[in-house]
Amino acid sequence: MPNGFNIAVVGASGMVGGELLRLLENRRFPVREFYPFNSGKRPANVIFRGKKYPCVKPSLSALGRADIAFFVSTDEVAGKFAPRLAASGTWCIDDSSRFRLSAGVPLVIPEVNGAELESSGKLIAGPNCTLTGAAVALAGIHRRFGVTELRLATYQAVSGAGKAAMCQLESELKSYFKKGSVPELKGRVFPRPIAFNLFPQVGGFDAAGNSVEENKVEAELKKIWNDKRIKISSTAVRVPILRGHSLAVWFKTGKPCSLAALRSALLRTPGLKFSRKPENYPTPLEHGLRTEIVYAGRLRKARTGANEFQLWIVSDNLYKGAALNSVQIAERIARL
Ligand SMILES: NC(=O)c1ccc[n+]([C@@H]2O[C@H](COP(=O)([O-])OP(=O)(O)OC[C@H]3O[C@@H](n4cnc5c(N)ncnc54)[C@H](OP(=O)(O)O)[C@@H]3O)[C@@H](O)[C@H]2O)c1
């Protein structure tokens, strides 16, 4: 497109939407016309390239003016608009979970499986923010040595649950410092208080006792790596930090490999910064705020058996876990 692309952002007033606008601007994505949308329940303006835009409720005809539409709102909204919009020629990049596991919809992290964009339809899904760190960090190791088993404990920031969740943490903290206790908040987002707390629940539970998030991690990672045989088990934990997801990962490789070979694979993995020194591990405060790559450290042999290793991973759930990944998909599309 010589004069740039008409861009729609559905969910422009949300947490991911705000970051998406910042990234489109900072990375100089060639935007011709810009159309922001929200639920329409309350007035909201967004600023893009110094200009104020009112958000409006989406409709198929309004969205149809876009060459590329980013869906950063809800599963329902993506389901309602994205397939019809894509069928009529607009690229739809969806950050919700609505189409991630749908056959024929690629689930894309550009530095891992971006080549899928070359032969795909116009509806593209971006993955869950939690598994993105593992999918990027271990991609090179999986390619060379074949990861056969993966176990994770995830430490997930409240911003992963959107702006209402951030408000819950802030309200609980304010109340604690004012009154000395964390109150029961009416209409709270999380199942438990989050200030000075953590809980092993991200989403509801299935009949086997796994949470929605734990099931997403398993199914989406298998799809992105195009490998159904890997055994994956995780425990997803919500922690009282604002931004940046951390993962404690244990993995087993099919081919024998040394720590030196793994280090070398990690140092050459696109989108990853790996620290060799154990004390240089990443943290969400230092490496999870508007960072464009995934960070990893503390690689070591696991004591449980041969070809078993452990790694600590941190990434920004709102950037690489959502908005940045979507913008990187759009950048690849722009080059097609
Ligand atoms: N947060 C993360 O780390 C993360 C990571 C990966 C993927 N995601 C996915 O990204 C999406 C957005 O997440 P978020 O954290 O940004 O949530 P959020 O802060 O709650 O923002 C939701 C956005 O969607 C808009 N919206 C809600 N209902 C709508 C409707 N019927 N029509 C049009 N717009 C509507 C909201 O508008 P109002 O302001 O009017 O309510 C708001 O702009 C979700 O699908 C989420 O699963 C989030």
Per-residue pLDDT of the chain (336 residues; tens, 9 = 90+): 778 999 999 999 999 999 999 999 999 999 999 999 999 999 999 999 999 999 999 999 999 999 999 999 999 999 999 999 999 999 999 999 999 999 999 999 999 999 999 999 999 999 999 999 999 999 999 999 999 999 999 999 999 999 999 999 999 999 999 999 888 778 889 999 999 999 999 999 999 999 999 999 999 999 999 999 999 999 999 999 999 999 999 999 999 999 999 999 999 999 999 999 999 999 999 999 999 999 999 999 999 999 999 999 999 999 999 999 999 999 999 999
Place of tokens 């919500």: 238
Give the Cα separation of 155 and 196 in Å (integer): 14
Give the Cα separation of 143 and 146 in Å (integer): 6
Dig out the tokens for 188 from the structure.
């709270």
Place of tokens 């990853």: 272
Start-to-end Cα distance in the chain:
10
Give the Cα separation of 35 and 7 in Å (integer): 6
Atom of ligand 1 nearest to the CA of 11: 43
Q: Kindly report the protein residue whose alpha carbon is nearest to atom 28 of ligand 1.
A: 39
The residues annotated with a catalytic role in the active site are 129, 245
Domains recognised in the chain with CATH numbers: 5-127+322-335 (3.40.50.720), 132-317 (3.30.360.10)
Give the Cα separation of 55 and 44 in Å (integer): 6
Atom of ligand 1 nearest to the CA of 16: 16
Dig out the tokens for 169 from the structure.
């943490």
Kindly give the distance from the C-alpha atom of residue 1 to the centroid of ligand 1, in angstroms, as a whole number: 28
Mutate to test the pocket of ligand 1, among 74, 155, 319, 327 (most ligand atoms within 8 A of CB): 74
Q: What residues have CB less than 8 Å from 121, skipping those under 6 apart?
A: 86, 104, 105
Nearest to 94 by CA among 60, 68, 71, 128: 71
pTM score of the predicted model: 0.97
Mutate to test the pocket of ligand 1, among 10, 21, 39, 94 (most ligand atoms within 8 A of CB): 39
Atom of ligand 1 nearest to the CA of 18: 16
Kindly give the distance from the C-alpha atom of residue 14 to the centroid of ligand 1, in angstroms, as a whole number: 5
